[in-house]
Amino acid sequence: MRVSPSQLVPGCVLLRDVKGKTNKPIIPQKTVLTEKHIMILSKFLIEEVDVSERLAEGTVFKPKGKKEEITKTDHKIEDSNQPITNRSFEEHYLYVVENFKKLFKGWQNTVPIDNLAVRNLILPLIDRMDDIGSAVYALHQYADKKDYFYHHCVSVSILSAYLGKKMGYQKGEWYQIALAGLLSDAGMARLEDFAFIKEGILTKEEKLEIRNHPTYSYRMVENISSIPYTVKLAVLQHHERIDGSGYPLGLSHEKIHGYARIIAVSDIYHAMTSDRYYRKKQSPFQVIEELQKEQFTKLDPRVVQVFVDSIAKFSIGTRVSLSNEQVGEIVFIEHKHPTRPIVRLDNGEIITLSNNKNLFINEILST
């Protein structure tokens, strides 16, 4: 019987290996599926599997009703009478992305930024800090190529506010950091379509034009009296780098506002972990290692370290998938290498990731 993972129940018996993109079995045939197996199938985006018509215990398998797919483009929370804050975090997030897209389309048509509308949209999501804490390493999974830009703006806002909290900022400042993160790319509304949909390599002229977007963003918020000056500075400076190699002003070290330093890390992280038209996504934990390499040159080392500590906060028993699509659980965490713990694979093999530089954690499956 061929069914989707959403129709499976614990006790189903696989008739064929479930294979990933590398053609290696994720779950071998004859496995009696558990809730963890079903979750893994969902994480790997497996569309259908072959299972026996009878469960392991011998009773007839009755597939669960197939859940309707919720897409990121046609999700309509507005149709529900239930308050948005009572919905799941993912539904709330998608609602914010969809409505931010509408605001941005207005900015592209020279509609001025309505700060009250922006705050009313993003701040209720930021208030869900406990939910954010459990979703920070999964935000990139919500994005798609078509609407990547809108997901990016919202995710940078969320990640930046979360980092602000972890760094000891007060709640009012989380809000300011979130607002700056959301508006930092507002100036992209002044660019042509190439900035959003071009699949090939950008020309030199196009790259130079994109480098103007922080200035455009600043000009769009400069005269809005209800937006704090610190937010405006962060919007202008979010692409500046500690070593002076950033833009638009080439600022360095203490001349870069603390909010901008936070947004810089969040911006790089989400961009590198998301699928875009011209670049494939990377593993969150591979990206974290890249951030660590730049923490003493381009990025603020304190921000990077807090981010690493927050994202790579594993516990013994955490289920993970690796870059070779093998699955296992963490059995030991090395303090000096938080992104490279020791993993026991489902086949019993023990792998020390700190000794396998070409292998890394791809996703967290369960904690």
- Shared-domain flag, residues 31 and 85: no
Mean pLDDT for each 10-residue chunk of the chain (367 residues)? 87 86 77 86 80 85 61 41 76 94 93 95 93 79 85 96 95 96 95 70 81 95 95 97 94 95 94 73 80 82 89 77 89 82 91 88 75
Q: Is position 354 within any domain?
A: yes
Q: Is position 85 within any domain?
A: yes
Q: Is position 61 within any domain?
A: no
- Shared-domain flag, residues 103 and 32: no
Q: Is position 229 within any domain?
A: yes
- Shared-domain flag, residues 216 and 156: yes
Range(s) of the domain holding residue 28: 2-50
Structure tokens at 27: 């779950």
- Shared-domain flag, residues 196 and 303: yes
Task: Please tell me whether the overall predicted TM-score, pTM, comes out greater than 0.85 for this model.
Answer: no
How many domains is the chain partitioned into structurally? 3
- Shared-domain flag, residues 262 and 332: no
Q: The domain spanning residue 296 has which CATH number?
A: 1.10.3210.10
Rg of the chain in Å (alpha carbons): 22
- Shared-domain flag, residues 327 and 295: no
- Shared-domain flag, residues 148 and 42: no
Distances from the Cα of 340 to the Cα of 131, 136, 140, angstroms: 25, 19, 21
Contact 329, 317 (CB under 8 A): yes
Q: What is the pLDDT of residue 69?
A: 39
- Shared-domain flag, residues 215 and 154: yes
- Shared-domain flag, residues 292 and 328: no
